[in-house]
Structure 1
Amino acid sequence: MTRLLLILSLFTCSTLSFAYSVQPMVSEISPSGSNSQLMMKVENTSTEPLELQIDPYHLQFNENQTEELVEAYDDILVIPPTVTVQPGQFQSILVRYIGDPSILTSKSYRVVFDQAEVQNNADKGQSSIKMKYQFLTLLNVKPANSSPDIKHERTYTDNGKWFLELTNNGTSYARLSRMEWKVGSPGSLLAISANDIRSHVSGNLLLPQQTRSFEFIPFDGIEPQAMAVQITESK
């Protein structure tokens, strides 16, 4: 299987004539049964036809904690894998898990919507530029009764930045902004809102049986080095 290191460039120039959206960007399905598939929707909001290649990849993190993608055609079926969407129109995409239905821990995937190269001739007198646009959606396959179990390993600094080292000892992925956080000194923990977590912690996904370090901005009034952290699944 071909290993691909995730490289994503996002362009938001308003002069470009090609634009589209994909929904949902984050989703969860089951490994078996009627909930093992979902419909995704692509909308072409431009004035030109949109050509897309849609491919599934297994999401994992390498030793440098960089996201890495591995082709996952044996696990995820995409129908149709290529589409042409006319201006102002929608296209539905069926995404189905066809891997091992008896998995005990969750698996995470990227369903990548890859647009054909776009010729940008917006600026007269300048050389045209070929650009490639991608939407990388997150698809989680979660078995019944699986759950994350997050442990705060340590808080440390590196090159003047603060980091939280977290381990997921559970059987399900965790999206940190969807977990319930309490921080403070041991024996005196305060609940932190999801908005505060998103603004203070860089990064969100923690896979089962994985340890990752997340850069964070210290919370007001709490000494980072002595900070106690409790992260539990939202009820």
Structure 2
Amino acid sequence: MTQSGKVVFGQGLTRLLWIVLALATAFALAGAVRAYEVTPMRVFLQPDRGQNSATITINNIREEPLPVEIQVFRRVVAANGEQTFEPAEEEFITFPPQVQIAAGQSQAIRIQYVGTLGETAEAFVVQVTEVPVNKLEGTGIQFTYNFGVAVYVQPPRARARLAVSEASAAEGTLRFKVANSGNDYGFLTGQVLEYRVGAARVQVTPDELSTLVSNPIVPPGASREFAIPLAATPEAGTAAANGPVEVRLLRGES
């Protein structure tokens, strides 16, 4: 049935579609355990020190061959945390760019930065993508997986300088801005975040912060906006409406 060019499903069919999507997600999560492993997941390169290459290892833990291809993308992070990825094949040499890994075997992939680095760090993602293989047997549904290895290319004397500003609290949410005046990428993870709302003072540990912030990266020369739920304390809840708000990073703020 259509209305103004839009497809409209009946209630029963809509419920069926949700069930199918839920089952597909469950199978995908179950299959992910038997996908493959990539290490490391984060790489830092320093070309000025001769460190312009690294090795990524792909471990095929399946009982069948694993065909993969390697692609490189530039990582662009917006103020609200949204990310876009731009092709950057010319910045790196990857070897091999494609490979089929036998069951139970591992393959080393060498990546080498050949771009021209300026005065600030640059961020890339080396994407390891499983190449789908057509199969006639079974349901005809095939799940493939990919892994993104974060690669940061750092200039000489690279350093992130993070500072917090514009903190506010309302409706159970703490909002603040983090600016990075340095020439390297900064990370909220690995730091202790302390905030004060009125008379209440709360510390968020690095482990807690990593679960609250999905994308902790602050690019050099940029600022990010963050929002986390206020701790469930009577003092914080009462003071959130009219008390002063302060936020500090106990490590990494300059």
The question of 1:228 aligning with 2:246 is answered: yes
Moved more, 47-56 or 146-155: 146-155
User: Structure 1 147/17 Cα, relative in aligned 2: closer, same or farther at 3 Å?
Assistant: closer
Q: Secondary structure at the match of 1:178?
A: coil
2:158 counterpart residue number: 146
Q: Secondary structure at the match of 1:130?
A: coil
2:109 counterpart residue number: 93
2:176 counterpart residue number: 164
Q: How many percent of aligned residue pairs carry the same amino acid?
A: 19
The question of 1:109 aligning with 2:124 is answered: yes
**Are the equivalent residues in 2 in contact too, given 1:106–1:173 (CA < 8 A)?**
yes
**Are the equivalent residues in 2 in contact too, given 1:119–1:129 (CA < 8 A)?**
no
User: Structure 1 81/157 Cα, relative in aligned 2: closer, same or farther at 3 Å?
Assistant: farther
User: Structure 1 176/99 Cα, relative in aligned 2: closer, same or farther at 3 Å?
Assistant: same
**Are the equivalent residues in 2 in contact too, given 1:202–1:215 (CA < 8 A)?**
no
**Are the equivalent residues in 2 in contact too, given 1:154–1:164 (CA < 8 A)?**
yes
**Are the equivalent residues in 1 in contact too, given 2:169–2:245 (CA < 8 A)?**
no
**Are the equivalent residues in 2 in contact too, given 1:24–1:40 (CA < 8 A)?**
yes
**Are the equivalent residues in 2 in contact too, given 1:46–1:88 (CA < 8 A)?**
yes
Q: Deviation string for 1:23-71 (max 9, x for gaps)?
A: 0011211133432211110000001111111011110035764210111
Structure 1 or 2: larger strand share?
1
Q: Secondary structure at the match of 1:129?
A: coil
Match of 2:142 among 124, 127, 130: 130
The question of 1:217 aligning with 2:233 is answered: no
Task: Report deviation, 1:193.
Answer: 2.3
The one-letter code matched in structure 2 to 1:155 is: A
Q: How many pairs are equivalent?
A: 222
The one-letter code matched in structure 2 to 1:167 is: A
Cα distance between partner residues in 1 of 2:49 and 2:64 = 38
Task: Report deviation, 1:185.
Answer: 5.8
Q: Deviation string for 1:116-144 (max 9, x for gaps)?
A: 1256889x6xx421333110111111123
1:5 counterpart residue number: none
Larger CA Rg, structure 1 vs 2: 2
Task: Report deviation, 1:196.
Answer: 2.3
Q: Which structure 2 segments of 5+ residues have no match? A: 1-24
**Are the equivalent residues in 1 in contact too, given 2:48–2:156 (CA < 8 A)?**
no
User: Structure 1 132/156 Cα, relative in aligned 2: closer, same or farther at 3 Å?
Assistant: farther
Cα distance between partner residues in 2 of 1:69 and 1:196 = 28
Q: Which structure 1 segments of 5+ residues have no match? A: 1-8
Task: Report deviation, 1:18.
Answer: 5.8
The one-letter code matched in structure 1 to 2:60 is: N
The one-letter code matched in structure 2 to 1:40 is: I
The one-letter code matched in structure 1 to 2:132 is: E
User: Structure 1 11/118 Cα, relative in aligned 2: closer, same or farther at 3 Å?
Assistant: farther
Cα distance between partner residues in 1 of 2:36 and 2:203 = 38
1:38 counterpart residue number: 54
2:87 counterpart residue number: 71
Structure 2-normalised TM-score?
0.74
